[in-house]
Amino acid sequence: MRRRRGHRAVLAAGGAGLLALLVLGAYGAPPTRAYVSPPRGARVLIEEAPPQCSIGFCYTPADVDVASGATVTWFNNTATNHSVTRCTPAACSGGGPGDGPDAFADSGPLANGATYFFTYARPGRYAYYCSVYGYKVMHGSVTVHDTGPRATPTPAQPFGVPLPAFPPLPQIPVPVPGVGAGQPHRDGFRSS
């Protein structure tokens, strides 16, 4: 009986030691560079009056960053019509449409409470403006980023720390209550 308790204490101490190695290894490891992907979508409000807008109306936020495959939704929160129109050099004071290759369509007039959305498939910058009030009053951009590589966590390396190689543990039978030998008798002694 004493031998079993000693063996269990050794196993418990070994498990605690392994846990301590993992925790200390995680704190002593150099920081990893995590890839943070841009949001999968964005909402842009069409607003009126300061403080959000410098001149009359504006897109809030004016510039958004999203991941490829994301949908941007514009919502007209003003009493007048507005549009979301891709820039041309003539309409946007010499600034072009940006370098984004997607065919960003014109929303047409958006009345109060109306929404317009566009899903961006490929990375790039997309410049737009309101064709009703002009580029000088209302303009914005959507920058679409490639989502980059996706890392899959590996259970063998928690906290990014490789596990040390230990020899396999011996197969030790563990008595299950109510099954087989080693169970208590009614008089308090164990059978072997």
32-46, 54-68, 108-122, 147-161: least confident range: 147-161
10-14, 33-37, 39-43: least confident range: 33-37
| pLDDT for residue 128 | 96
Question: pLDDT-derived band of residue 87, with 50, 70 and 90 as boundaries?
Answer: very high
The amino acid at residue 154 is: T
Q: Model confidence over 156-190: pLDDT tens digits?
A: 545 556 666 777 767 767 666 665 555 555 655 55
Q: Model confidence over 107-149: pLDDT tens digits?
A: 999 999 999 999 999 999 999 999 999 999 899 999 999 875 5
Which two three-digit tokens encode residue 44? 């842009």
Judged by DSSP in three states, 74 sits in: strand
| pLDDT for residue 43 | 93
pTM for the full predicted model: 0.57
Distance CA 161, CA 21 (A): 10
The size of the chain, in residues, is: 192
What would the mean pLDDT of 81-85 be, rounded to a whole number?
95
Contact between 18 and 49 (Cβ < 8 Å)? no
What would the mean pLDDT of 47-74 be, rounded to a whole number?
87
Cis, peptide link before residue 38, omega less than 30° from 0: no
Question: pLDDT-derived band of residue 93, with 50, 70 and 90 as boundaries?
Answer: confident
| pLDDT for residue 168 | 72
Residue ranges and CATH numbers for the domains of the chain are 41-145 (2.60.40.420)
Question: pLDDT-derived band of residue 37, with 50, 70 and 90 as boundaries?
Answer: low
CA dihedral 95, 99, 103, 104 (to 10 degrees): -50
The residue ranking higher by pLDDT, 150 or 112, is 112
Q: Which residues of 45-66 are buried (b: 16+ CB within 10 A; e: fewer)?
A: bbbbeeeebeeebbbeeeebeb
DSSP state for residue 113 in the 8-state scheme: T
Name 128's Cβ contacts closer than 8 Å, sequence gap at least 6.
84, 85, 86, 87, 104, 139, 140, 141, 142
CA dihedral 115, 131, 53, 94 (to 10 degrees): 130
Percent with pLDDT over 90 in the chain? 43
Closest CA relative to residue 116, chosen from 89, 76, 86: 76
The residue ranking higher by pLDDT, 138 or 30, is 138
Contact between 70 and 121 (Cβ < 8 Å)? no
The amino acid at residue 160 is: G
Residue 59 has pLDDT above 60, yes or no: yes
Going by their DSSP bridges, the two strands 63-67 and 139-145 should be labelled as parallel
